[in-house]
A and B are shown apart, each in its own frame.
Chain A
Amino acid sequence: MADVVTNKTISPAAPKHAPSHTVANIKVVAPPAELAREPLVGNQRSIGWISDAIAGVAEGKTPMWWWMAFVPSVILMTTCFTMIVYLVSVGVGVWGPGHPVMWGWAIINFVWWIGIGHAGTLISAILFLLRQKWRTSINRAAEAMTIFAVMCAGIFPLIHIGRVWLGWWLFPIPNSNGIWPQFRSPLMWDVFAVSTYFTVSLLFWYMGLIPDLAVMRDRAKTTIRKFAYGLFSLGWTGSNRHWSNYEKAYLILAGLSTPLVLSVHSIVSMDFSVSQLPGWHTTIFPPYFVAGAVFSGFGMVLTLLVPLRRLLKLEDIITVRHVELMCKVTLATGSIVGYAYAMEFFIAWYSGNPYERYAFINRAVGHYAWGYWIMIGCNVITPQLFWFKKIRQNMMIVFILSIFVNIGMWFERFVIVVISLHRDFLPSNWGFFRPTWVDILTYLGTFGLFFTFFLLFLRFVPIIAIGEVKAVTPQADPHHPLGGAKEGGHH
């Protein structure tokens, strides 16, 4: 078997742990200045460099900061599980809710976490259908965020039902009572929406991972890694048959996820709006919840990716332009949320319904006015700062503002759930809500769950879609001055 090598020497595969940063010997013909767009991959990196940089994150030595984040996360996660065991063994009385505020932090946290998930699906599906190429650098991490956020969300409805061991009654499984679930109830719709959402997000994420797991397999040095990545990449060869079925399936999944993600938070909002409680019973809820979900999700994506790009040295792949674009989405959805708040107030006045009016005035000046004004401050004012390019380009400020978005969106659900419930129609039905330490520790514990999974994801899985980033770089295009066959290859 004779190897035939043509005129060029094949440059050896780039060294695994020391990506070369040189881009010497390349003449770049600059496009006219007015047509130039910030490239999606900075510093004219080659496709070999991209594999090294992304796969290197999961291949290199575990950095110190990873352990410093991982250990507290695991402790928090354990706290969460301990609290759940305590709740299940003692009963839901260990939580704050009681008449008339029967829905407390469990529902707030559920809606908050699931809303965060929506940004991942929006990035992976909707931006894909809109051919927004910049999504490729962030979609993998955002999808992972979706899955872990939906996991955190899913815990709460499950444990808040009280008798957790009867949770299977929610599913249409024939049981000895001969009873079916009530399919006309929005709470049942929620069960189907959330479980479908989780399943589809997981499949979408895993499918996108298969080619990249094959990259990891082909770069793996140790037998265990070879075996594990080989197992999960299912024998992917990158053949044209594979790619064409894969691309079509990916496109279809994106098309299916788009209405799905819109339906999930619409259905979550119907948990509230189908009831007749003032403050809940409004038709604006579905679109307003979806916008709020995307807003909070982008807040969380920024909170995660702004420090990560720095820690993992991926500034050339998750560029300032990516961060700026995410800030703009946050601005747009934040403005929709602000508009929805104003419209809610307007309709409460315009409807002439005294209960509706009272509910809204009570939000702004009642017992929990502080919660309302935190919400307004974080969700209406904060995103407006993203109008300024200087702010969008300052990573420190973006990071801080993104945390404000997360806080604000938690308080939005607090306002909706608690403030609406604590003043019923009759003053004899009025009450006050106070969370217990179990409420607080369970909620904090879900952060442990989220970050434990997210950190494991960072260490073992390519956090950026390698194949997709390669396909959007001009370097992959032989007609581009940076790409294709060149004398003295530049890998």
Chain B
Amino acid sequence: MAEFENHEVLVDATQRTYAEGYRKLDAYSPFPVHGLSEALGRRKTRVPLIVLLGGMTGGLGGYFMQWYAMRVDYPFNIGGRPLHSWPAFIPITFELTILCAALSAIIGMLALNRLPEPYHPVFNVPEFRRASLDRFFLCVEATDPKFDLVRTRTFLEGLRPESVKEVTS
């Protein structure tokens, strides 16, 4: 794992590492760095799809609940007005759409990030404490087919890092 002083160096290093053929990579930064996902060769996030599904469930479910309650299960005649009075059902349908979409956004985000995660090996490196403060890290995982302790270290050292550390699991 290599430590860098700013995000430009990190993106540059990531691009070079990816070009070198490493694939099992992750980069760590105190704030979101744009261009990193591309440098890491990552696909787009699936959060929007989850939110769309959640929102649709909330909306359809909410409307169905009102239709079922007002039309089927508990029909109540108010001055002869239609039982299936859809305009009056819109506000609650809308609110439930938003509620379910928002819940799926945060739950989806956590699930895709595999959080909560009580243990992660990167925290074994003492310098990593600064990853949330003002330092930027690039980690080549040992499961990468190209990974070789000595050669990978030498390669990372050529990327202008502040330091290179081995992450013990």
**CB within 8 Å of B: which residues of A?**
1, 3-6, 8, 10, 13, 46-48, 51, 172, 178-184, 186, 188-189, 192-193, 195-196, 199-200, 203-204, 206-207, 210-211, 214-215, 217-219, 234-249, 252-253, 256-257, 259-260, 263, 267, 270, 467-468, 470-471, 476, 478-479, 483-485, 489, 491
Contact = CB atoms under 8 A, between A and B. Distances in A.
Contacts of B117: 234-235
17 contacts: A4-B164, A6-B162, A13-B133, A51-B134, A183-B69, A188-B92, A189-B92, A192-B96, A207-B106, A235-B119, A238-B29, A242-B115, A243-B33, A244-B32, A249-B51, A253-B106, A478-B7
A5 B2 CA distance: 10
A47 B48 contact: no
Given A207-B106, A252-B105, A245 B113 contact: yes
A51 B133 contact: yes
B42 to A, nearest CB: 7
A249 B5 CA distance: 28
Interface residues of B, number: 71
A10 B8 CA distance: 17
Contacts of A10: 162-163
B56 interface: no
Given A180-B74, A238-B132, A6 B161 contact: yes
By CB atoms of chain A within 10 A, which of B31, B45, B131, B165 has the most? B31
B13 interface: no
A245 B109 contact: yes
Nearest to A1: B166
A296 B113 CA distance: 38
A485 B91 CA distance: 53
Contacts of B9: 478, 485
Interface in B34-71: 36-37, 40, 42, 45, 47-48, 51, 65-66, 69-70
Contacts of B70: 180, 183-184
B133 A48 contact: yes
Interface in B106-139: 106, 108-110, 112-113, 115-120, 122-123, 129-134
A484 B4 CA distance: 11
B140 interface: no
Contacts of B32: 243-244, 246-247, 467, 471
Nearest to A242: B113
B28 A172 contact: no
B52 to A, nearest CB: 9
Nearest to B76: A182
Contacts of B89: 183-184
Interface string B131-169: 111100000000000000000000001001111111000
A239 B26 contact: yes
By CB atoms of chain A within 10 A, which of B95, B101, B110 has the most? B95
By CB atoms of chain B within 10 A, which of A214, A234, A489 has the most? A234
B28 to A, nearest CB: 5
B163 A180 contact: no
B94 interface: yes
A252 B48 contact: yes
B168 to A, nearest CB: 9
A94 B104 CA distance: 43
Contacts of A270: 91
B95 A252 contact: no
By CB atoms of chain B within 10 A, which of A217, A218, A479, A491 has the most? A218
A348 B123 CA distance: 67
B166 A249 contact: no
A214 to B, nearest CB: 5
A67 to B, nearest CB: 30
A179 B74 contact: yes
B157 to A, nearest CB: 5
B91 A244 contact: no
Given A189-B91, A234-B117, A253-B106, A485 B5 contact: yes
Given A48-B134, A240-B29, A260-B98, 20 more contacts: A47-B30, A178-B74, A180-B70, A181-B69, A184-B89, A218-B131, A218-B133, A234-B110, A240-B42, A242-B113, A244-B37, A252-B105, A256-B51, A259-B94, A260-B95, A263-B91, A470-B30, A476-B6, A485-B5, A491-B134
B98 A256 contact: yes
Nearest to B26: A239
Nearest to A214: B132
Given A200-B99, A235-B117, A237-B131, A172 B31 contact: no
A243 B91 contact: no
Contacts of B102: 199-200, 203-204, 253, 256-257
A468 B32 CA distance: 9
Contacts of A470: 30-31, 134
Nearest to B43: A244
A48 B6 CA distance: 12
Given A4-B157, A240-B40, A256 B132 contact: no
Nearest to B9: A485
Contacts of B130: 13, 218
A248 B48 contact: yes
B8 to A, nearest CB: 4
A257 B32 CA distance: 22
Contact of B45 (A1, A244, A257): A244
Nearest to A9: B162
A249 B105 contact: yes
Given A4-B157, A235-B120, A240-B26, A183 B165 contact: no
The 4 closest A-B pairs by CB, nearest first: A235-B117, A249-B109, A234-B116, A180-B69
Contacts of A181: 69
B95 to A, nearest CB: 4
